[in-house]
Amino acid sequence: MGDTKCLNMANTGLLRVDGTQFQVGDRIFCDQHRATVRFVGEVPPTNGVWLGVEWDNPTRGKHNGCHEGKQYFQTSHPKSGSFIRPNKAQGGITAIQAVKNRYGLKKDQNAGVDSKELFVLDQNLQQTQVEMVGAQKINLLQSQFSKLKSITMYDMQVYSGGPDGELGNMCPIVTHLDVARNLLPSWESVANIAKQLRYLKDLNVSDNKLLLPKDPTSLSSSFAKLTNVTMNKMNVSWKEVLTVCSMFPVLEELHVGFNNLVQLEDSSHVFKCLKRLDVMTNSIQDWAEVLKLGTLPRLETLVISENKIQSVFFPDCPAREKTSLFSCLKSLIIKKNNISEWSSVNEMNKLKHLEELQVSGNPIINSFKYETVRQLLIAKVGSLKLIDRTPITFEERKGAEIDYLKRYGKDWKNVGGNTDPAKNKPNLLFIEQHPRFQIMCDLWGAPEDSEFEEKSSALKESLLGE
């Protein structure tokens, strides 16, 4: 590794605009691509200083850090490394400069907004230019940095918070901070920004490559009031998520989508206050992994859409009983998975407090007409109040449950069901397939024989309609 102390910084381009120098571990921007600095020094027989970098996009590199038989640095991919001259690298700006660039007072009529970029698409996807109204007024308000509550620095090549305390003095009441897709190298650098914003509650660090903290506990005070964190597109494992989140003592909402997560683990020791967890668009296939989250004490909403879940099950209890897992869960958003069997819906009825279910985009939705599918979902999960964002009225639930009794009444009677309580002994298989049937009988009365034929006709029509 090169000795940067012996290098002539002024002549090699190793200095950023603010006077700081490139170091191993820094993030840089070059030709529209991001990379991490792995080496700073000379590479004989050439003259001058080189940066050895590992590209975020491994196809952009040429080697693994080895040149003419000498290993200058290591890469995680065989060909994700390159050597570039320092003057080709953009080292970024401080958060202070980013705030000034984005929210500072602009003198032109559109307050810095390019009118050529303002357009809407009509129904034929044709662009129509629109006029910017009120830009100067908005800019005037935002340029009063001390009144800013929300700061967005998305994709502004921010590499640090700047001089200690300056950002906090300039923007003292910020509660929301978006530093997604920047050049921050580590969680220590994020903590340096956060500790200056003492009212910070909402933080988005998505699409950054952040080195894990060596001592997470030492950084917790920087995130003392943080309740909402977004960590999408960061290529982190669940173990790394837990390491990071151990710094957030009062975290209530976490988004970790687009991270290629496959495995999870018990997280109750970290997520003591978590109410909403979003793990959408990952690679989770087995519901057994999801069950590892079942002991989270306050979880109310679980978003697991766009994974590869094939079935839902709660093996800790039999049909007609309630699971001890997910004891506070009210909303399950499980859209665009691979659920194809109604047994998974039966299992969802085991959740004690489930009120909202979103299941669109699963194969099960194509079982019958959508109206029939919705009726079955309502009947099978007794606590639901909302399906795919549409409320369930009392009359709709009553109708769905009565229709369900008619639809499966003949099957019930054939396996031992009877209107006489003393003779009502349906077999175990029927109970497992229709765990709420008896509850619905108690509510609306058992179906009569004359209604069985009506059910068969209705079911045939729904099947023919597909």
Residues of the chain with CATH 3.80.10.10: 260-392
Would you say residue 320 has pLDDT above 60? yes
Average pLDDT estimate for 264-280: 98
Angstrom distances, CA of residue 404 to CA of 336, 391, 407: 26, 19, 5
Average pLDDT estimate for 42-56: 96
Q: Could you read off the pLDDT of 187-199 as tens digits, one per residue? A: 999 999 999 999 9
The fold adopted by the segment(s) 4-88 is SH3 type barrels. (2.30.30)
Residue 115 CB partners (closer than 8 Å, separation 6+) = 129, 131, 132
Contact 28, 50 (CB under 8 A): no
Contact 285, 307 (CB under 8 A): yes
Residues of the chain with CATH 2.30.30.190: 4-88
Q: Which two tokens stand for residue 165?
A: 């305390």
Q: Which helix (H) or strand (E) holds 52?
A: strand 49-55
Which residues share a beta bridge with 81?
A: 54, 63
Return the pLDDT at 107.
Answer: 64
Higher pLDDT, 138 or 350: 350
Average pLDDT estimate for 351-363: 98
Rounded Cα distance, 141 and 228, in Å: 26
Burial class (CB in 10 A: 0-12, 13-18, 19+), 18: middle
* Domain 260-392: top CATH class: alpha beta
Q: Could you read off the pLDDT of 229-268 as tens digits, one per residue? A: 999 999 999 999 999 999 999 999 999 999 999 999 999 9
- Name which of 11-15, 16-20, 334-338, 404-408 the model is least confident about: 11-15
Under the banding of pLDDT at 50, 70 and 90, the label for residue 118 is very low
Average pLDDT estimate for 320-344: 98
Would you say residue 422 has pLDDT above 90? yes
* pTM as predicted: 0.88
Return the pLDDT at 457.
Answer: 46
Would you say residue 463 has pLDDT above 50? no
Under the banding of pLDDT at 50, 70 and 90, the label for residue 10 is very low
Would you say residue 146 has pLDDT above 90? yes
Return the pLDDT at 6.
Answer: 44
Residue 68 CB partners (closer than 8 Å, separation 6+) = none
Q: At what angle do helices 394-414 and 449-464 cross, to 10 degrees?
A: 110
Q: Could you read off the pLDDT of 430-452 as tens digits, one per residue? A: 999 999 999 999 999 998 887 77
Would you say residue 121 has pLDDT above 80? no
Which residues share a beta bridge with 302?
A: 277, 332
Radius of gyration for the chain, computed over Cα atoms and rounded to the nearest angstrom = 29
Would you say residue 7 has pLDDT above 90? no
Which stretches does DSSP call E strand in 276-373?
276-278, 301-303, 331-333, 356-358
Angstrom distances, CA of residue 350 to CA of 296, 316, 354, 430: 17, 10, 9, 16
End-to-end Cα spacing for the chain: 67
